[in-house]
Amino acid sequence: MPKPILPPTSRSLMGRLWREYIVRHWVWIAVAFATMVIEGSTVGLLSYMLQPMFDLVFVQGNINAMWWVGLAILALFLVRALTGVIQRVLLVRVAQLSSTAMQVDLLDHMMTLDTGYFQKNPPGALIERVQGDTLAVQGVWQVLIQGLGRDIVALASLFVVALLVDWVWTLTALVGIPLLVLPSMALQRYVRRKTGQMRDAATQRSTRLDEIFHGIREVKLNGMEPYQLSRFRAVVDRIVRVNIKTTAGQSMLPGMIDIMTGVGFFGVLILGGREIIEGDKTVGQFMSFFTAMALAFQPLRRLGSLTGIFQIAAASLERLYGIFDLRPSIRSPAAPQPAQALQADVVFDGVTFAYDDQPVLDDLSFVARAGQTTALVGPSGAGKSTVFNLLTRLADPDLGSVRLGGVAVSEMELGDLRAQFSTVTQDALLFDETLRDNILMGREDISETRLAEVLTAAHVSDFLPKLPNGLDSPAGPRGSNLSGGQRQRVAIARALLRDTPILLLDEATSALDAQSEAVIQTALDGLSQGRTTLVIAHRLATIRNADKIVVLDRGRVVEQGTHDELLAADGVYADLYRLQFRDGVKAL
């Protein structure tokens, strides 16, 4: 059984693209199609006009005919110009609208995926998916519709003209075409494979750039410029190689069409030339036929390259739909319970959790009482941040349950759950916008007075005068215009505005100067007033007043109690405490 010309998957991918993004623009496509049919048929008419031009005007010397033939040809060109413009604008509109809709949907979907997905796929690769792959898909329908509308109609009309002139000549001209079917199938597979490799290499290029620009400090400090440059060069070299191969594969089919057309021309000249010499056919007939063939050349080549373009788009679509078909494992339940975090205890009950195969929490249980401050203490890697992740459902436990006011966090609507928490860390991510935007985060219901209160309480107003435009100064990429302490104060201001019942604090691990530390501590104390606060503490001095201290080690609770109780128990906490003060080390 002969194989289908296109692998079924690329056809079904195209079908899905058509149903989900293209068909909604069918009215514009229909208008564009109609103009293309007109444009396509002008080609046939043009070649047909050559017959009266030669036979009536040139051979018979008919002046009247010269006028009407000339005007008819002029009119045909005008129609072509007009329909060409309309059709291109309409198709670009459809291509742009559909590819940007796809980008928006893709981002919308990607943001629902589990955080684990973003750890496995570097940002550069994901950016490439949203930008590069949708771009590769963008033009395919435009080209397909143009091909099907304009080029096929043009070919059909030229074919009719050729048949009208002489069917034997026509068959002679086309005799080579069936020979192209098998090589074209092989070529398509080749182009698809090479395009896949090209998309991979483009992904690597984005990832490299993303890593270099994000890590520019490390690159400079470790003298890694030549190393990074050589890795980058290797990737772009690969892109060049694969690109050349893809283009070679893509242009092979139009190339073969050229050869076959050449053979056709030759055959017709030998056959037709004799008939004209012997007076069986007129020069006008021959010219008309020849022009029809010459004009068939371009649409035929374009149709030949269509399959290559189809394969390129299919390679990108495969990746795009691969992402669209991923389902996040962390989702809102079908019938969510309302989140009641106000005056609600946070309970970890026999929670066991592993990142992939790495066990992190082991039957962890503790309670953080409503309205109180609970500190999590323990060596790095003990699982403190993981506790935050499970509480906010950035990850779900393998065993046990995490409850808020008696309701499992997994029973609540995700957005509703996360609206119960504010998080403050020193590496609070700021966006490359003004400080005002970074603090308001899109909220429009905050009055200037309330904003001013918050800025004062978070001690942001202390450093505003030092910035060139105060609150309207840009924070820089990832907040790089601010110091760690300043970023933390911005995060405190955000949290004050969010005004959520539960506060998650991740204390700065890097040492701040004593003055900033005191300022931040006051701001944090103000923030945690009346809220259920969980704090990951690195400097034990700051949690002396915590209502409860939970000491974690290797994912288990090893001790819990107040500062005084734990010191009296003389266990792990007491050791840690003595260690910090004896060595003068401030952070664990």
Provide the binding-site residues for ligand ADP, judged by CB under 6 A. Answer: 119, 355, 358, 360, 378, 380-386
- Shortest separation between residue 399's beta carbon and ligand ADP, angstroms: 16
* For ligand ADP, the closer CB: 119 or 545: 119
209 exposed, middle or buried (CB, 10 Å; 0-12, 13-18, 19+)?
Answer: middle
Angstrom distance (rounded) from CA 262 to CA 254: 12
Nearer to ligand ADP, 378 or 485 (CB): 378
Question: Least distance in Å: CB of 504 to ligand ADP?
Answer: 12
Nearer to ligand ADP, 238 or 554 (CB): 554
Min dist. Cβ of residue 550 to ligand ADP (A): 12
Q: From the CB of 407, what's the least distance to ligand ADP, in Å?
A: 24
CA atoms of 94 and 26, how far apart (whole Å) = 9
Please, which residue, 166 or 506, has the CB nearer to ligand ADP?
A: 506
Q: Which is nearer to ligand ADP, 383 or 397 (CB)?
A: 383
Q: Mutual orientation of helices 63-110 and 26-52 as an angle, nearest 10°?
A: 160
- Residue nearer to ligand ADP on the CB measure, 460 or 508: 508
Pick 320 or 360: Cβ nearer ligand ADP = 360
Amino acid at 481: N
For the beta carbon of residue 243, count every other beta carbon within 10 angstroms.
16
Contact 453, 492 (CB under 8 A): no
Which amino acid is it at 33? F
91 or 534: whose CB is closer to ligand ADP?
534
- Residue among 151 and 507 whose Cβ is closer to ligand ADP: 507
Contacting residues for 584 by C-beta, under 8 A, at least 6 apart: none
Shortest reach from residue 395's CB to ligand ADP, in Å? 8
Q: How far is the CB of 356 from ligand ADP (least distance, A)?
A: 6
Is 70 or 381 the residue whose CB approaches ligand ADP more closely? 381
Q: Alpha helix locations (H) across 53-177?
A: 63-110, 115-120, 123-128, 134-138, 140-146, 152-165, 167-174
Residue 74 CB neighbour total at 10 angstroms: 10
Nearer to ligand ADP, 385 or 562 (CB): 385
C-beta of 197 vs 385, nearer to ligand ADP: 385
DSSP-H helix ranges across 344-482: 384-391, 414-418, 435-440, 448-457
Per DSSP, the three-state class of 4 is: coil
CA distance 51 to 282: 9
Interstrand relation of 346-355 and 358-368 (parallel, antiparallel or unpaired) = antiparallel
- Joined together, the tokens standing for residue 64 give 């009247």
- 116/267 with CB nearer ligand ADP: 116
d(CA 185, CA 178): 12
> Any idea how long the chain is?
588
Between CA 76 and CA 247 the distance in angstroms is 34
CB of 583 to ligand ADP, least distance (A): 20
Query: Residue 386 Cβ, how far from ligand ADP at the closest point, in Å?
Result: 3
- Output the smallest distance, CB 103 to ligand ADP, in A: 27
Q: Cα angle at 483 between 376 and 501, to 5 degrees?
A: 40
DSSP 495-517: HHHH--SEEEEE--SSPPPHHHH
In the complex, least distance from residue 588 CB atom to ligand ADP, rounded to whole angstroms: 9
Are 344 and 370 a contacting pair, CB within 8 Å?
Answer: yes
Count of Cβ atoms closer than 10 Å to residue 107 Cβ:
12
Residue 568 CB, nearest distance to ligand ADP (Å)?
Answer: 25
Q: Closest approach of Cβ 141 to ligand ADP, in Å?
A: 40
The token duo for 448 is 């200037």
CA 298, CA 305: separation in Å to the nearest integer?
A: 11
16 Cβ neighbours under 8 A, 6+ residues apart: 317, 321
SS (H, E, C) 397-433: CCEEEEEECCEEHHHECHHHHHCCEEEEECCCCCCCC
Task: Tell the smallest beta-carbon distance from residue 355 to ligand ADP (Å).
Answer: 3
Q: Which residue has the tokens 């017709």?
A: 268
